[in-house]
C-alpha cells in the first residue's frame, strides 16, 4: 500500500495541468500549479483587458511590471507609456475613439474603454485550458460600438520548455454613436504566441 502511495505521489507532478480560476476582477491561469498569467478584466481604473504578469514556461517574466507594480529590477528605466499593460489587444482609431492610448489617468477627450460583459466557458485540464469572455468597446458616454468575443487557450507544449497561448477574437457589430455600422469581420481572427523557456 505504501509503495502505491509513493508511485502515485511521484506520478502526479509528471502530468501537466492547466487550471483556470475566475475571480471578481481577474482570472488566474496556472500551469502545473505555477502562475502563468492573470487576465485582468475589471476594476475601477481598467480601460481594457490585459494579461499580466506573463511568464515563460521557465517562470521568467516576459512583460514589464510597471505600472502595475514597482520592482527593483526596473529602477532607473524609463517609465512611459502607462497604457501599455502586459499583453493586450486594442486599436487606436475605432469610429474616432482611441482604445490604445486610453489609460484612465489620461485626459484626452476621445478615450474609449473595453468593458467586460460576460464570462463564458472555462475549461482546465491536462496540458491545456481555455476561457471565453465577451467585451464591449464603448465610447466615453458608455455607448457600445462593438462586441468582442474572445477565447483564449493556454497549452503546455513540453515540460518546462515552452508555452503556447492563442486568442481567437470574433467581433460583432452594432450601430455606432455616429450612426454608422461598424465593419464586420466575417471569420474569427486568431493570434498565437509561443514563449520558450
Contact 37, 29 (CB under 8 A): yes
94, HSE (Cβ side, Cα atoms, 13 Å): 31
Tell whether 7 is covered by a domain: no
Position 22 scores a pLDDT of 97
3-state SS string for 89-156:
CCCCCECCEECCCCCCCCCCCCECEEEEEEEEEEECECCEEEEEEEEEEECCCCCEEEEEEEEEEEEE
Tell whether 56 is covered by a domain: yes
Tell whether 8 is covered by a domain: no
Q: Quote the domain boundaries for residue 130.
A: 16-65+87-196
Taking only the tens place, the pLDDT of each residue in 89-145 is 888 888 999 998 999 889 988 999 999 999 999 999 998 889 999 999 999 999 999
CB neighbours of residue 165 within 10 Å: 19
Position 11 scores a pLDDT of 40
Q: pTM to 2 decimals?
A: 0.76
Q: Which of 72, 46, 44, 38 is nearest to 165 (CA)?
A: 38
Overall domain count for the chain: 1
Contact 192, 153 (CB under 8 A): no
Position 158 scores a pLDDT of 64
Position 39 scores a pLDDT of 94
Tell whether 105 is covered by a domain: yes
> What does the CA dihedral 63, 68, 74, 75 come to, rounded to 10 degrees?
170
Q: Which ranges of the chain have pLDDT less than 50?
A: 1-14, 161-162, 174-187, 194-197
Tell whether 128 is covered by a domain: yes
* φ/ψ bin of 22: left (φ > 0), alpha (ψ from -120 to 50), beta (otherwise): beta
Position 118 scores a pLDDT of 96
Amino acid at each position: 500500500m505504501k509503495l502505491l502511495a509513493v508511485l502515485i505521489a511521484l506520478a502526479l507532478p509528471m502530468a501537466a495541468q492547466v487550471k483556470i480560476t475566475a475571480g471578481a476582477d481577474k482570472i488566474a491561469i496556472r500551469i502545473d500549479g505555477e502562475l502563468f498569467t492573470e487576465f485582468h478584466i475589471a476594476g475601477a481604473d481598467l480601460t481594457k483587458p490585459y494579461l499580466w504578469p506573463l511568464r515563460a514556461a521557465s517562470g521568467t517574466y516576459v512583460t514589464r511590471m510597471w505600472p502595475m507594480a514597482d520592482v527593483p529590477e526596473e529602477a532607473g528605466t524609463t517609465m512611459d507609456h502607462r497604457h501599455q499593460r502586459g499583453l493586450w489587444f486594442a486599436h487606436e482609431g475605432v469610429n474616432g475613439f482611441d482604445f490604445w492610448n486610453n489609460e484612465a489617468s489620461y485626459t484626452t477627450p476621445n478615450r474609449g474603454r473595453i468593458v467586460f460583459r460576460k464570462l463564458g466557458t472555462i475549461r482546465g485540464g491536462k496540458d491545456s485550458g481555455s476561457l471565453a469572455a465577451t467585451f464591449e468597446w464603448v465610447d466615453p458616454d458608455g455607448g457600445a460600438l462593438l462586441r468582442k468575443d474572445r477565447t483564449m487557450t493556454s497549452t503546455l507544449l513540453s515540460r518546462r520548455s515552452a508555452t503556447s497561448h492563442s486568442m481567437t477574437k470574433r467581433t460583432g457589430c452594432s450601430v455606432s454613436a455616429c450612426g454608422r455600422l461598424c465593419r464586420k469581420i466575417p471569420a474569427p481572427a486568431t493570434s498565437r504566441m509561443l514563449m520558450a523557456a
